[in-house]
Amino acid sequence: MSTRRPPRQQLSFDDLGTPLAEATLVVVDLETTGTNPTEDAITEIGAVKVRGGEVLGEFRTFVDPQRPIPAYIASLTGISDATVAGAPHIGTVLPMFLDFVGDAALVAHNARFDIGFLAAHASRHHVPWPGPPVLDTLALARTVYRRDEVRDHRLSTLAAHVGAAVQPDHRALSDARATVDVLHAIIARLGAQGATTLEDLASAHRRATPVQLRKKHLAAAVPPVPGVYEFLDAHGQVLYVGTSRNLRSRVRTYFTAAETRRRVLDMLPRAESIRTIECTTPTEAAVRELRIIGATKPPSNRRGLTPEKALWLRLGSGREGLRAARLARDEADGSAQIGPLASRHDLEPLKGLLTDAVLGRAASFEGSSRDAGLSDQGHRARIRRAMLEDPGEVLDHAAVRMRTHVNAGRYEDAERIRQLTLAYLRAARRASRLRALAAVPLLIAARPVTEGVIGGRGWELLAVRHGRFSGTTLVPLRADPLAAARSLALTGLGEAELAAPLCQGHHQEAEILLAWLEEEAVRTVLVEGTWGVPARARFDPGHLTERFARTAGASGA
């Protein structure tokens, strides 16, 4: 009697998800110093970007783990301390890798290991993790290749079984290339069983829940346009809010096995309808999503629930020292603030870093001495300069302390200083960008686009008032963008009444707009007041690396 499982049934949506032929995938492999993502470090990253069976690009780099590589690991991978000498640190590599990934889904063999390491190090180094879709070729292979066909599901076994062009050898790029061939063989096998979309592939080893199947009719009327979607309960209360470039494709994934988030699965039984808001551009959709979440506080959302709340490190006016602040204030009185901080746990260490750099380390051990020192106007001026203009004094202080720890073999202490200094640079840079944008009464800029505009090419115009979204429009290439800009200038006039120092109360929205404005192809069309894009180099983490390198050979702090 045959026990073969029948082919998985495809859900009855004609355009559900992303067709596999159009899906961009980045197959990644890591080499590390061990197996614990919270204790061990990455030594090499290799990745291959593919779409429709075609290789679009490759990414490979060694990574300095800032610790000795165990001998057995060096023997296994061929990566030694000498191999990674001079390689960039993971805090530098991760943003470059995520830029290579872009909007693609990630693929790995035993994805829990590789993606777990990447996400853990992103969190440790305060690099935003985008949460991309993840495919695990190990889990998929266990579904596709049974033990009567392969003896095990190791990458080397599968690569040999499918006739991969490259055999894995415990080096990141070679293993990633072998995984690509294994992935394509899996796709071919599952394609014959009806898997045609990225979501089908992601859920091939899972099944949709009864609630998902019962509620899938809610997505039937969702349009294929960019915008915002809201899941509503029987009383019209908002349960969950999201945004997408294609509302239909995105919303329908909530009713497939690809959706595994617990907060979403717990929300679906209460959902009775879905409301959509069509938006002109994804930027408008992202802003509207934030505003709706802030206004309605949906129970199943986490990000953006309290945009009015933030935590700043403020140097007060007069004789006031460094203090925590929940509200950003005008700095014309001689005060200064940096933030919002990523964590309240950074507050006291950052106060110590700034005061140590100016007053000396003795101030760290006597709180009264620290505050008394800040009553000196010269000391206050130096700290204010470090917060608003020039991080040089703080970076020099941190670099010397790091070198002292390294020379003594206290690598964890050196890493702690480095992470604290990076937190300072991030907070100062965030504040400088928000400060600049909040001061501009009206800014209208344009960037070239190839989607959503008549003729396939044109301009996306964005209007910003004091750091708040004011309006957007799409203009065909041959149309006059200046005329469209003048029309935008007449919209959103009420936003000016909500102006606040450092975009207090809407900094999340302002940072979405700043990311748009800082793209290379963006051009300023109209501006009231003065707009100068804050110099990225002013609080660049690379400056810490440079100063640390200069301390080579120093004997101590």
Residues in the chain: 557
**The pLDDT value given to residue 365:** 38
* Residue 483 CB-density burial (10 A; 0-12 exposed, 13-18 middle, 19+ buried): exposed
Sign of CA dihedral 132, 133, 138, 141: negative
Q: Same structural domain for residues 60 and 195?
A: yes
Q: Same structural domain for residues 195 and 217?
A: no
CATH number at residue 236: 3.40.1440.10
Report yes or no on 352 lying in a domain.
yes
Q: What tens-digit pLDDT sequence spans the chain (557 residues)?
A: 333 333 333 333 334 467 888 899 999 999 999 988 988 999 999 999 999 999 999 999 999 999 999 988 898 889 999 999 999 999 999 999 999 999 899 999 999 999 999 999 998 888 889 888 899 999 999 989 988 899 999 999 999 999 999 999 989 999 999 999 999 999 998 888 777 888 778 777 677 789 998 999 999 999 988 999 999 999 999 999 999 988 998 898 899 877 888 899 999 999 999 999 999 999 999 999 999 999 999 999 987 777 778 999 999 987 778 999 999 999 999 999 999 998 889 999 999 999 999 988 544 434 444 554 556 788 889 999 999 999 999 999 999 999 999 988 888 898 899 999 999 999 999 999 999 999 999 999 999 988 878 778 899 999 999 999 999 999 998 888 888 899 999 887 766 677 889 999 999 999 999 999 988 889 999 999 888 765 556 898 888 988 998 988 654 44
318 backbone φψ class: left, alpha, beta (φ>0; ψ -120 to 50): left
**The pLDDT value given to residue 83:** 95
Question: Which phi and psi angles does 44 have, rounded to 5°?
Answer: -155, 140
Residues in CB range of 529: below 8 A, 6 or more apart: 439, 440, 441, 442
**The pLDDT value given to residue 4:** 34
**The pLDDT value given to residue 324:** 94
User: How does DSSP classify residue 373?
Assistant: H
Q: Same structural domain for residues 506 and 401?
A: no
Q: Same structural domain for residues 28 and 157?
A: yes
**The pLDDT value given to residue 10:** 32
- Name the β-bridge partners of 445: 462, 524
Report yes or no on 192 lying in a domain.
yes
Question: Which phi and psi angles does 279 have, rounded to 5°?
Answer: -125, 150
How far is the CA of 315 from the CAs of 355, 361, 384, 436, 501, in angstroms?
Answer: 11, 19, 7, 19, 15
Rounded to an integer, what distance in angstroms lies between the CA atom of residue 436 and that of residue 457? 31
How many structural domains does the chain have? 4
Q: Same structural domain for residues 372 and 391?
A: yes
Report yes or no on 556 lying in a domain.
no
Q: Same structural domain for residues 409 and 477?
A: no
Q: Same structural domain for residues 47 and 173?
A: yes
Report yes or no on 3 lying in a domain.
no
CATH number at residue 117: 3.30.420.10
How far is the CA of 377 from the CAs of 316, 331, 334, 372, 382, in angstroms?
Answer: 12, 16, 11, 11, 9
H/E run at residue 54: strand 54-62
User: How does DSSP classify residue 458?
Assistant: E
Rounded to an integer, what distance in angstroms lies between the CA atom of residue 370 and that of residue 75? 51
**The pLDDT value given to residue 369:** 47
Return the HEC string of 204-257: CCCCCCHHHHHHHHHHCCCCCCCEEEEEECCCCCEEEEEEECCHHHHHHHCCCC
Q: What is the CA radius of gyration of the chain?
A: 26
Residue pLDDT, tens place only, 442-464:
999 999 988 878 778 899 999 99
- Smallest CA-to-CA distance from 428 within 522, 337, 303, 298 is with 337
H/E run at residue 353: helix 347-359
Rounded to an integer, what distance in angstroms lies between the CA atom of residue 330 and that of residue 227? 35
Secondary structure percentages of the chain, helix, strand, coil, to 5:
45, 20, 40
Domain that holds residue 161: 20-202
Collapse the DSSP code of 301 into the 3-class scheme (helix H, G, I; strand E, B; otherwise coil) and give the result.
coil
